[in-house]
Amino acid sequence: MSWGQDLVSVLVNGGYGTYNVDIGLSSNWSIPSGDGPLTSIILTSGTGAVRTQNTAPQTAYRRPGASLTIRAKSPSIAYAKAQEAYGLYCAVSNTFVNGVWYVEIRPLQEPFDMQVDERNRQMYTFNVRGFKRPS
């Protein structure tokens, strides 16, 4: 599975939502027109890989990135869902996700206000970075 699918799995397995219903992956996801809450995950650049000594050029760990945007008609619901996703990712530490070993998935900042979208839904965003074995 991919980094993006692993991020979706953490949310789905945590009872957060349903993939391709209220959780979308990629900038190509057609965001539904309802009141939400709706979560879109877009993969971003991470940071450089970590190599193991004396095994060049193999990569020991990868550090990919992603951005999550949570939107809902109600600002309090959008914020609560952003906090829920934030907490689910904070809980990923020294565990397998879809058969891939993760040292961690770490939010890089608290969810922050992104104003409203074109349908007047409040948006909150935060970024995450993984620290994982190559898959």
Task: For 104-129, write each residue's pLDDT tens digit.
Answer: 999 999 999 999 999 999 999 999 99
Residue 99 CA to its chain's centroid (Å): 17
User: Nearest to residue 36, comparing CAs of 121, 115, 113?
Assistant: 121
73-93 pLDDT, tens digit each: 999 999 999 999 999 999 999
Tokens 């004396």: give the residue: 54
- What's the domain count of the chain? 1
Q: Count how many Cα atoms sit within 13 Å of the Cα of residue 6 in the half-sphere of its side chain.
A: 27
What pLDDT, on a 0 to 100 scale, did the predictor assign at position 15?
Answer: 98
CATH code: domain of residue 48:
3.30.2000.10
Q: Say what the pTM is.
A: 0.93
Alpha-carbon distance 120 to 107, whole Å?
26
Mean pLDDT of 60-78: 96
Q: Which residue type is seen at 70?
A: I
User: Range of 111's domain?
Assistant: 3-132
* pLDDT computed for residue 57 by the predictor: 67
Q: What DSSP line would sit under 30-93, residue for residue?
A: ---SSS--EEEEEEEEEEEEEEPTT-TT-EEEEEEEEEEEEEESSHHHHHHHHHHHHHHHHT-E
Helix-helix angle 75-90:3-13, to 10 degrees: 110
